[in-house]
Chains A and B, each alone.
Chain A
Amino acid sequence: MNDFKGQTLSWQIVNGAIELALHRDPCNEIGSLTLDELEKFAAALPGLTNEAHALIVHSTLKAGFSAGADLRELFQRGQEIEKAAALRGVREFLERIHAVMNALDTAPLTTIAAVHGVTFGGGFELALVCDIIIADRMARFCFPELRLGLIPGFGGIPRLKRDLGNAVVRDLLLTGRSFNVMKAQQIGLVSQIAAEGEALRVARATASQVGKFDRRTAAAAKEFVKPIPYKELKREIDIFCDLYSRPAVEEGLRKFVENEGPQPYLP
């Protein structure tokens, strides 16, 4: 399937690069429907890889790349069914999204996240599976999960630890603060900063450059420098599920969901 147009995302091949566009209002919150379509993409990826040398992941929404997991759905999941079943559902969701993230992480082509605006939580984790992050000048990153009594659950901590120094990881994780592109580039997360609205164009230029090289060599180089922390990724799911079943998390999610003020994304 060389192109697809779904309810939350679409893909097509443009000049030898797969362009995976996220477009679920309001800011690409990742819930069951997005996961279903991400799984479709992961299943199509081996075939697409024969036709393309790079993958660009981007958002068509003004608000940003992605605000992360769909917290309203996560809250509702805990309300509608009994606790043990809710926990099983959360674990199943995490295992499925990890499988998608791992497929993107190990894809034998160069992957580029072109991000702008809000790149939070699960959205940040989606960017982290990519080989290169190109960020619009107005991009903002955050792991806000501790504010809810949780840790990132889509593979964020092991991948952040893979790419950054541990002191930086602790700062970002334990304060839950958001930070801009200058900081993101300074700590080694973002490789290129684009002008406002130009991240996709810069990503396309980068995809064109990587397309000049022998694909097998590029895939071998990637595999050599980008180990997948499978053991820590599994441990992350266990810790997330241990934390999820506590009343403090339900209260944190309820506070977010029922917040009708202007500041749900601020601490």
Chain B
Amino acid sequence: MPTTDRTLDEILNLAASHFNVPREKLTPDDDFFKTLGIDSLQALDLLTRLEHHFRIELPDYELQGVSDFRTLANRIQARL
């Protein structure tokens, strides 16, 4: 199983690549809605991409109130 740091790194890489944001501008504690400039529909798109990437199912209610990459990584890590 990958470490949480590795999971976090993969999330940041995927988000930077898909939303066309320089990777170096993303940090673990960023509010991803603000940093990526995304709305809720785009957040669902990100969730789907992450589920495919990590081959997991992550119910969206587990993301209630989650807006930073580090907490997102912890939620994903718990499903790996």
Contacts and interface: CB of A to CB of B under 8 A. Distances in A.
B57 interface: yes
Contacts, number: 59
A27 B39 CA distance: 13
- Most B-side CB within 10 Å, residue of A27, A67, A178, A264: A178
A183 interface: yes
Nearest to B59: A177
Bin chain A's interface residue count: 20 to 34
Given A177-B59, A178-B60, A179-B57, A265 B48 contact: no
A177 to B, nearest CB: 4
B47 to A, nearest CB: 8
Contacts of B63: 266-267
A265 B61 contact: no
Given A117-B45, A138-B45, A263 B40 contact: yes
Contacts of A179: 57, 59
B57 A265 contact: no
Contacts of A176: 61
Interface in B25-69: 33, 38-41, 43-45, 47-49, 51-52, 57, 59-61, 63-64
Interface of B: 33, 38-41, 43-45, 47-49, 51-52, 57, 59-61, 63-64
